[in-house]
Amino acid sequence: MSRFYITTPIYYINAEPHLGHAYTTMVADAVARAHRLMGEDVFFLTGTDEHGQKVERAAQKAGLAPRAFADRVARSFEALLPEINASNDDFIRTTEPRHYASVQALWRSVRDNGYIYKGKYEGWYCTVDEVFVPETQLVDGRCPTCGGVVEKISEESYFFKLSALQQPLLEHYRSHPEFVTPAARRNEVMAFLEGGLEDLSVSRTSFTWGIPVPDDPAHVMYVWFDALTNYMTAAGYGSDDPLDQARFEKFWPADVHLIGKEIVRQHAIYWPAFLLAAGLPLPRQIVSHGWWLMEGAKMSKSKGNVVRPHDYIARFGLDAFRYFVFREMVFGQDASFTDEAILGRYKADLANDLGNLASRVVTLLHRTCGGRVPQPSPALLARSEERAVLDAASALVGQVKAAIGTFQLSVALRDIWELVGLTNRYIVAREPWKLAKDPDRRAELETSLFVPADALRVIAELLRPFMPTTAGRMLEMLGCPAHPASWSTLAAGTLQPGTALGQTAPLFPRIELTVEALRDMAHEPTASSTASPAKPAPQAAPAAAPAPAPAATPAQEAPVAEQISYDEFMKVDLRVAKILEAERVPKSKKLMKLRVDTGLDTRTIVAGIAEAYEPEALVNRTVAIVFNLKPAKLMGIESNGMVLAGSAEGGRPFLVGFETDLPPGSRVR
């Protein structure tokens, strides 16, 4: 059995995961699932990148030791995986002992082969990207990649002889034109390589949060040397255990490192250079996708202009969210995430095209064929309309496989929707509801329902990697076995006549959401954006709670927050405040802008209570607020704190009050 090893980047844990991270993991997931369906032995890896200056600083800011901070935030990346239905086989954290062993083994190999020497690094460093930036590449004194501030560093450092590997790398690129894809990225890398390479600083001495350099623990390794090696660690590299060694033999080199376009250089130059220096095989392909943009800028943790996957999954359902991101981003290009687009695709592509097709066919089969797959007539199946649908379904299998092979998920889905459209048109032309009224046309009726049912089966089998739950439900409705059919034998015409069908259930229920409601949601703080970055916590502040979920939302139990210590609780500075002014935020149904007297200052707080209170009813009210919450922008207004309110599940918020009027500034405990 051939094997397939695919990885995502390991994500920095300096903030909560957002759509960008979820996207890469979902694409890798869809590709991994497709390869399993093609009969391959798949290993799909994702994880977290936990060392380095950026994380050390984020931990300091959170008042935690780096390891404790890493343990907390890594959990939110791990928790995202079931939420997006990722079928990863392993989750690696760079703080695990297996990884220390592996990175140190790679370092020793590279060093013993003569590629590491000691020197002094003087120059610029961008902590956001964790990269050294040559002075000539600064743009207005800032990082050319993220535009962030760079710092001057001057310290003893080990260097990696990258310059010595320029020719071997160029040769590899020339003999493996598919090594980096898409071609635009490959061309950039080639141009960079041809321009010559400087040796790379691969250790730091000015901080300690990293993997110690073997035999010189005053140095910690450069975080990219550490991070890139994760791909080998998880396959078993550096382990003494014979089982791990056998796994490494089997799965290394990786088939695909799937990444965003901003980290191509590290993957396409540094990583193969380290491996060449150690005498290890290179990965087969570096595949990079474009960026999700918000209002024209890259969505990023550092900028905070992010889409929180959970917000959309809760409203549209996971598979609709997966469909949208796969369909919307053309491979290799950037894409804008807009509420209009996700709503539009939900209604048109999912509810209308696919959802209606499935429920129409299965309902008609229940009504007219006793809830069983009918027996088609061979003569009628030979007609050109029937052949057109069934031939298109058979051809689609190859098309989808080819599109997945080149990571064109949007093309695969577009092709599947061509068949959805063709099948819908077939039904409209055959009008089985009319045939059902005429007993003499029974054979025509049965054939005209067999054809779309069979096409739907192929569609569902092909949708498995993209929308696993929906595909399963479609197949259940069609009475097909729950275990996936192998794509190697998948073809049209094999639905078994006589099979009992399952119940019809709407795949994509009607939702009443509007673009305005989605926009409000995006601006509302959640506990995870305002409290600790530990995990997707329950709504801490009902005053800013999101809209009650629509009917499409799967019922979910309200999560309970983990226990905290007295000291942790006391970090929250709760105080009495008096509302001085209140006005609705224009274009928002939920948000109210409040001017409050906190006893220590007067400040603006934006609260999600506009549906529950009139502005005039709020003036002069005494409320409880979180005084020391970091400022956040809501609909362009800076909010400094949070007003406390309680609400029953999905109900209106009621402000927290006091039995007597306490003076503003009084502590609440």
- Report the interface residues with ligand ME8, using CB under 6 A: 9-12, 20-21, 23-24, 49, 227-228, 230, 259-260, 262-263, 291-292, 298-300
Nearest distance in Å: CB 271, ligand ME8: 8
Q: Tell me which H or E stretch contains 117.
A: strand 116-126
Residue 644 contacts residue 626 (beta carbons within 8 Å): yes
Rounded to whole angstroms, the Cα distance separating 356 from 504 reads 11
Q: Is 67 helix (H, G, I), strand (E, B) or coil?
A: helix
Nearer to ligand ME8 among residue 10 and residue 607 (C-beta)? 10
Nearer to ligand ME8 among residue 56 and residue 444 (C-beta)? 56
Nearest to 273 by CA among 172, 136, 155, 371: 172
Q: What is the DSSP letter of 135?
A: G
Rounded to whole angstroms, the Cα distance separating 584 from 586 reads 6
Nearer to ligand ME8 among residue 262 and residue 385 (C-beta)? 262
Nearest distance in Å: CB 7, ligand ME8: 8
Nearer to ligand ME8 among residue 283 and residue 525 (C-beta)? 283
The residue type of 242 is P
Nearer to ligand ME8 among residue 204 and residue 430 (C-beta)? 204
Nearest distance in Å: CB 585, ligand ME8: 27
Give the pairing of strands 3-12 and 131-133. Answer: unpaired
Nearest to 46 by CA among 97, 105, 5: 5
Strand runs (DSSP E) across 598-665, as ranges? 602-607, 622-626, 632-634, 637-639, 642-643, 645-646, 654-655
Secondary structure (H, E, C), 364-389: HHHHHCCCECCCCCHHHHCCHHHHHH
Alpha carbon separation from 556 to 174, 538, 666 (Å, rounded): 53, 12, 37
The residue nearest ligand ME8 at its CB is 20
Nearer to ligand ME8 among residue 286 and residue 396 (C-beta)? 286
Helix axes 442-463, 384-405, angle to 10 degrees: 0
Nearest distance in Å: CB 165, ligand ME8: 19
Nearest distance in Å: CB 149, ligand ME8: 17
Nearer to ligand ME8 among residue 302 and residue 504 (C-beta)? 302
Nearest distance in Å: CB 95, ligand ME8: 13
Nearer to ligand ME8 among residue 55 and residue 320 (C-beta)? 55
Nearest distance in Å: CB 261, ligand ME8: 7
Alpha carbon separation from 156 to 11, 54, 225 (Å, rounded): 28, 20, 17
393 exposed, middle or buried (CB, 10 Å; 0-12, 13-18, 19+)? buried
Nearer to ligand ME8 among residue 312 and residue 417 (C-beta)? 312
- Cis upstream peptide for 182 (omega within 30°): yes
Q: Residue 159 — left, alpha, or beta (φ > 0 → left; ψ -120 to 50 → alpha)? A: beta
Nearer to ligand ME8 among residue 89 and residue 597 (C-beta)? 89
Terminal CA-to-CA distance of the chain, rounded, Å? 63
Nearer to ligand ME8 among residue 311 and residue 573 (C-beta)? 311
The residue count of the chain comes to: 669
Nearest distance in Å: CB 268, ligand ME8: 12
Nearer to ligand ME8 among residue 222 and residue 292 (C-beta)? 292
Structure tokens given for 178: 């598919």
Nearest distance in Å: CB 66, ligand ME8: 15
Residue 207 contacts residue 189 (beta carbons within 8 Å): no
Nearest distance in Å: CB 326, ligand ME8: 13
Rounded to whole angstroms, the Cα distance separating 579 from 542 reads 18
- Cis upstream peptide for 497 (omega within 30°): no
Nearer to ligand ME8 among residue 89 and residue 262 (C-beta)? 262
Nearest distance in Å: CB 23, ligand ME8: 5
Number of separate helices (H) and strands (E) present in the chain:
25, 25
Nearest distance in Å: CB 299, ligand ME8: 4
Nearest distance in Å: CB 185, ligand ME8: 12
Instruction: Give the phi and the psi of residue 655 in degrees, each rounded to 5.
Output: -65, 145
Rounded to whole angstroms, the Cα distance separating 189 from 491 reads 41
Nearest distance in Å: CB 582, ligand ME8: 36
Nearest distance in Å: CB 103, ligand ME8: 12
Which value, in Å, is the radius of gyration of the alpha carbons in the chain? 28
Find residue 131's DSSP bridge partners: 126
Nearer to ligand ME8 among residue 26 and residue 413 (C-beta)? 26
CB-CB neighbours of 366 under 10 Å? 16
Rounded to whole angstroms, the Cα distance separating 167 from 161 reads 12
Nearer to ligand ME8 among residue 337 and residue 346 (C-beta)? 337
Rounded to whole angstroms, the Cα distance separating 354 from 474 reads 10
The residue type of 621 is R
Find residue 258's DSSP bridge partners: 287
